[in-house]
């Protein structure tokens, strides 16, 4: 029997901070289309930093969730270990 990581009760959309940071890359990119060419390089740098920060935040969130799930799996007793003591 498969063990689902997320119940379907949690399907309510919610805000992910890493997604907000990554989506904000659009602001300097669109701004770069309308400003003088001397501002192009700094805006590209800002967009790159925002994108990499969003990826870093996603990686941290994924690692944290994985470690939390591993910790719960280790602490949860199994039916077999409980019945072996009888």
Please indicate, yes or no, if residue 42 is contained in any of the structural domains: yes
Instruction: Judge whether 31 and 43 are in contact, CB under 8 Å.
Output: yes
In a domain, 73, yes or no: no
Q: What gap in Å lies between CA 4 and CA 22, rounded to an integer?
A: 28
Is residue 22 in some structural domain?
A: yes
Range of the domain at 59: 16-63
Q: Which residue do the tokens 């990581």 mark?
A: 5
Query: How many independent structural domains does the chain possess?
Result: 1
Entry pTM? 0.66
pLDDT band at 32 (very low <50, low <70, confident <90, very high): very high
- pLDDT surpassing 90 at residue 78: no
């Amino acid at each position: 029997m498969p063990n689902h990581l997320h119940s379907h009760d949690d399907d309510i959309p919610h805000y992910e901070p890493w997604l907000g940071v990554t989506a904000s890359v659009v602001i300097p990119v669109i701004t770069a289309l309308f400003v003088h060419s001397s501002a192009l390089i700094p805006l590209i740098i800002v967009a790159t930093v925002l994108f990499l920060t969003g990826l870093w935040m996603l990686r941290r969130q994924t690692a944290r969730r994985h470690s939390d799930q591993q910790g719960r799996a280790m602490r949860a007793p199994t039916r077999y270990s409980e019945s072996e003591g009888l």
